[in-house]
Amino acid sequence: MFKGNDDNVPPSPAATAAPGNYAGQAPWKLSFLGLLRHLSARHPDLPPIGQASRPRDEPFRAGQQAALTFAPREIAQVQPLAGRLKVQLFGLGMLGPNGALPIHLTEVVRERSEAHRDNTTADFLDLFHHRAFTQFYRAWASAQATAGLDRRDGEVFSRYVGWLAGNEADEIAHSTLPPHARLAASAHQVREARDPDGIAATLSHFFGVPVRLEEYVLHWIAVDPAERSRLGHPGAPGVMGQGAMLGEMVPDRQHKFRLVIGPLGLQQYLNFTPNGRDLPTLIEWVRAFVGFEFVWEAELQVIPDSAPPAILGSQERLGWSTWLGEPDRSRAITGMVFEPEHYATH
């Protein structure tokens, strides 16, 4: 999962990898599918590889190098050619011991190319090789969820995952929570029963801090004024053994839980306080898991060495980022316990 405003998905490794000088690299360091994926990601202005109407709309030309030996690797060589790359493979084509053509034709093509510098036959066969190789890549890429992230315009796997968890891509696109991170937690959200370990593990992984969930936290539920028992008022609330109760509130442990976050450094702690930058995202995460069905609170714990003491003239805020007395360095300090939903802006 990923943190921050990443415009729905993180940068693709294939798109951000250094292109390097393919002509100068050892060919055995490259894989055919990986190279084509990189080229596709680096040229989003061109049609996806395998879907171009004409080969000139693709940033490379693919072919096969005539060889009589079994392919020792995928790529034979990569060379610059008129502003694009020429990728030569050992296998997958019509030539060679594994090719569809008789072996003597491979000898003819190899002899013409190496002995006479005549690549006419090889170039003719490469007209078909190029289209076959690009279609092979397209068949592979269409079944790879990660390859879909290279080009945002044709990415559909995220929609499939979102639909399984009940999330529509257009609805979560502008959420405080990055959509790609939300989709990464779909394995926990798709289950009807939300497990505490799944929530804690997701939050811990996303924020990079320790998180645990305490269930069945005691809290008081206010009784509606119309349901309260009052002397001299007839009705169900005034009947002993049926609806009568003492007081204006009742205790409950079934509908509240507590997220214990930490121990944290001081800056991490401040990020989760009511005015912190991470609190809106935390609220959105909890809503994604449990909606508004439960009441919940956050307990922020601070590393003892990160808790500033209360000193006159210091810049720390009373009740927020300063503590009285000497801390017990053997355990974390509880900094703040509050209900984040009270500070939600939407």
Q: Report the C-alpha gap between 121 and 108 in whole angstroms.
A: 9
Percentage above 70 pLDDT, the chain: 91
**Residue 268 counted as domain residue:** yes
For the segment 226-267, what is each residue's pLDDT rounded down to a tens digit? 888 877 777 777 677 677 777 889 899 999 999 999 899 999
- Looking at residue 1, its pLDDT comes to 43
pLDDT confidence of residue 21: 53
8 pLDDT higher than 50: no
The DSSP output letter for 74 is S
Average pLDDT on 23-42 reads 79
Domain check: are 138 and 106 in the same one?
yes
> Nearest 5°: CA angle at 5, between 208 and 277?
60
With contact defined as beta carbons under 8 Å apart, do 106 and 68 qualify?
yes
How far apart CA 101 and CA 230 sit, in angstroms, is 97
User: 198 lies in a domain?
Assistant: yes
Together in a domain, 183 and 141: no
The reply to whether 40 and 134 lie within a common domain is yes
Spatial neighbors of 265 by CB under 8 A, at least 6 apart, are 302, 303, 306
pLDDT the model gives residue 129: 93
Contact (Cβ atoms closer than 8 angstroms) between residue 200 and residue 213: yes
| 259-282 residue pLDDT tens | 999 899 999 999 999 989 999 999
pLDDT digits (tens, 9 = 90+) for 76-132: 888 888 778 889 999 888 998 888 889 989 899 998 888 888 888 888 999 999 999
Does 6 map to a domain?
no
Mean pLDDT score of the chain, rounded to an integer?
A: 83
More confident: 237 or 12 = 237
Q: What is the mean pLDDT of residues 169-191?
A: 83
Task: Give the contacts of 317 (CB within 8 A, at least 6 positions apart).
Answer: none
Beta bridge pairs of residue 61: 86
31 and 137 housed in the same domain: yes
The β-bridge partners of 259 are 213, 298
Residue 141 belongs to a domain: yes
Question: Is the domain of 293 the same as that of 309?
Answer: yes
CA 61 distance to own-chain centroid: 33
On whether residue 234 sits in a domain, the answer given is no
The pLDDT of 11-29, averaged and rounded, is: 54
181 and 270, same structural domain? no
Residue 235 lies in a domain: no
Note whether 38 and 135 are same-domain residues.
yes
Residue 177 sits in the same domain as residue 286: no
Residues 182 and 321 in one domain: no
Same domain, 133 and 266: no
User: Of 116, 148, 180, which closes a domain?
Assistant: 148
Q: Which domain holds residue 269?
A: 194-218+253-343
Instruction: Give the range with max mean pLDDT: 153-167, 308-322, 329-343.
Output: 329-343
In-domain check, residue 242: no
Residue 20 has pLDDT above 70, yes or no: no
Query: Which whole-number Å values give the CA distances from 157 to 16, 85, 152, 154, 202, in the listed order?
Result: 21, 30, 11, 9, 21
* Residue 76 and residue 57 in one domain: yes
pLDDT in tens, 187-216: 888 877 778 998 999 999 999 999 999 999
Would residue 154 be called left, alpha or beta, if left means φ above 0 and alpha means ψ between -120 and 50 degrees? alpha
Determine the pLDDT at residue 241: 65
**Is the pLDDT confidence value at 29 over 80?**
no
pLDDT higher at 330 or 232: 330
Q: Is the pLDDT of residue 2 over 70?
A: no
Contacts of 197 (CB under 8 A, 6+ apart): 213
**One domain for residues 170 and 205:** no
pLDDT > 80? residue 319 = no
Confidence of residue 25 (pLDDT cuts 50, 70, 90): low
The answer as to whether 232 is a domain residue is no
How buried is 3 (Cβ within 10 angstroms: 0-12 exposed, 13-18 middle, 19+ buried)? middle
Domains: count for the chain:
3
